[in-house]
Amino acid sequence: MFTTTSRPQADPPRSLPSPSSPHAPMPPPPAPSSPVPPPGGPAHAQHRGQPPSPPARCQPRPCPRPADMNYSRFITTVSAARKGSPIRLLTELMQRSPPSLISLAGGAPNPNVFPFKKATVAIGHGNAVEIGEDLMKRALQYSASAGIPELLSWLKNFQRNLHNPPTANYSPERGQMEVCVTTGSQEGLCKVFEMLINPGDNILLDAPTYAGTLAALRPLGCNIINVPSDQHGIIPNALKEILSAWSPEDIKSHSHSLPKFLYTIPNGCNPTGNSLTAERKKEIYQLARKYDFLIIEDDPYYFLQFEKPWAPTFLSMDLDGRVIRTDSFSKILSSGLRIGFLTGPKPLIDRVILHIQVSTMHTSTFTQIMISQLLQQWGEKGFLEHIDRVVEFYKTQRDAMLVAADKWLKGLAEWYPPAAGMFLWIKIKGVSDTEQLIMEKALQKEVLLVPGRAFNINSSEPSSYVRASFSLSSPAQMDLVSERIFIFFLLSFQEQFLTLTMFPYF
């Protein structure tokens, strides 16, 4: 069950300075600054493009109390030791100051010497994004590590309207919802893992899962505990069973061996296409409360859900401030621009921002300005209308993939129609491992699919699955690929049959 068996380390020190007040110790968690809102009635469950409804009221039962989160319990010694860079803080201060400020403080280069002067980017379904000379100077300059202010405030409002998280009005120390821009959601994920994992820590996830996550986790030396799942995502009873290994005393004493977090891809999982149901999410959130673990909700396919209303998110249920959510613009605006955003409790997001300060410094200012200009122009309504168009495209692609699979692979293979995302997860019957078949035979037939073992915790473990992506191919190409899979499986079964009949004792 575990990939490694080393023991966890002792808890890091308790005080966590934040990026904006680098040396201030974290005060003990006070009560929420305003009456605690109930678990969010997510606005996205109403209708997109319309103003969100007010938060649901807990009636007649009293609202459950949020837990007193001790965030420092979760943080590695390395992350706890991060302090704000004084130079970065000056840069951020300068950007908030009026133009009349004369500064000799910053080490920023003079943008007048840069060759790029202005840009016009034509937009499908919108006016061109114009980056004039002044804006271009800003776009080419260093900027705040958390993200440029106008994009951050757009994203914060959007998250509030879409997910209505209970944490939106908490005090910062208590776990107030915070957002930061990341260079793709991959950067956010990687930094969150590095913030949380000491060697030997137990963590939970439902494999097969995104290979990029496994690649980020493996070198950190954690014990990865696989939680069984089906087409509706993690099975709560299976999670309960795994967690029953920890006693009520372990929970009370916050034993080091308690799992630190559960990682999951709740919509259109890469590679399985699975989507977690709202009921299961609620059950899983209750288990997270009971066993005091965090939930990392990696949701790049959230905007590619084929049916409305969209599923409520873990963020929308986050009464305690224990959910870190990664969103991505990669599947809907551009993967090459490298932009995503993290949403979660401020004490944790602040740690990630400190890491960004000393690594990438910030996501490309030019990228952020381009995205921000577009989002300001579209507004939330225009953005959600764009999403509708993207979903329409992927839904048609998904349907074409299902038609091709039905036509050629029925009987030979099994799959579930995905409710979101861009992947069909195909189990090839009678094949214990697809690796050789794909890397040799399928390639000879000019077909490329990903062998299932790439998504196993232990990638040398065999898998009878392949991942087929329906994002780029035309319906005719999907039909052709399915036909070729059919032919080479037929040939390989024939070969097996011949081998068995010619050499019956081998």
Ligand X SMILES: Cc1ncc(COP(=O)(O)O)c(C=O)c1O
Q: Which residues bind ligand X (CB under 6 A)?
A: 184-186, 210, 212, 265, 270, 298, 300, 328, 330, 335, 340
Cβ neighbours of residue 394 closer than 8 Å, sequence gap 6 or more: 304, 306, 421, 422, 470, 471
Residue 20 CA neighbour count, 13 Å, CB half: 9
Residue nearest to ligand X (CB): 184
CB contact set of 362 (below 8 Å; sequence gap of 6+): 142, 143, 144, 145, 146, 147, 181, 356
Provide, rounded to whole angstroms, the least separation between the CB of residue 3 and ligand X: 19
* Cα-Cα end-to-end distance for the chain: 33
Q: How far apart are CA 355 and CA 349, in angstroms?
A: 10
Nearest to 80 by CA among 298, 379, 347, 258: 347
Give the phi and the psi of residue 262 in degrees, each rounded to 5. -110, 130
Q: Smaller CB distance to ligand X: residue 173 or 187?
A: 187
Least Å distance, CB 300 to ligand X, is 5
Q: With respect to ligand X, which residue has the nearer C-beta, 170 or 425?
A: 425
Q: Which is nearer to ligand X, 164 or 267 (CB)?
A: 267
For the bound state, the minimum distance from the C-beta of residue 469 to ligand X, rounded and expressed in Å, comes to 10
For residue 187, the minimal CB distance to ligand X (Å) is 7
CB within 8 A of 283, min separation 6: which ones? 236
Closest CB to ligand X among 212 and 221? 212
Strands 202-205 and 223-226: parallel
Nearer to ligand X, 401 or 409 (CB): 401
CB closer to ligand X, 174 vs 467: 467
**Least distance in Å: CB of 321 to ligand X?**
22
Task: Report the alpha-carbon distance of residue 77 to residue 201 in Å, rounded.
Answer: 13
Q: List 18's β-bridge partners, or say none.
A: 21
Q: Which is nearer to ligand X, 211 or 361 (CB)?
A: 211
Tell me how far, at minimum, the Cβ of 393 lies from ligand X, in Å.
Answer: 17
State the minimum distance, in angstroms, from the CB of residue 333 to ligand X: 10
In the bound complex, what is the minimum distance in angstroms from residue 253's beta carbon to ligand X? 34
Q: Count of CB atoms within 10 A of residue 355's CB? A: 20
Of the two residues 3 and 471, which places its CB atom closer to ligand X in the complex? Answer: 471
Q: Minimum Å distance from CB 430 to ligand X?
A: 29
What CA–CA distance (Å, rounded) separates 250 from 257?
Answer: 8
Smallest distance from the beta carbon of 301 to ligand X, in angstroms? 7
Q: How far is the CB of 213 from ligand X (least distance, A)?
A: 7
Q: Measured from the CB atom, is 194 or 298 closer to ligand X?
A: 298
Neighbour tally for 158: CB within 10 Å: 18
Q: Which residues contact 494 (CB under 8 A, 6 or more apart)?
A: none
Pairing of strands 323-328, 340-345: antiparallel
Nearer to ligand X, 126 or 212 (CB): 212
Q: How, if at all, do strands 202-205 and 261-264 pair?
A: parallel
Which residue lies nearer to ligand X by CB, 175 or 421? Answer: 421
Nearest to 55 by CA among 31, 75, 37: 37
What single letter denotes the amino acid at residue 464? Answer: S
* Residue 54 and residue 94 in contact, taking contact as beta carbons nearer than 8 Å: no
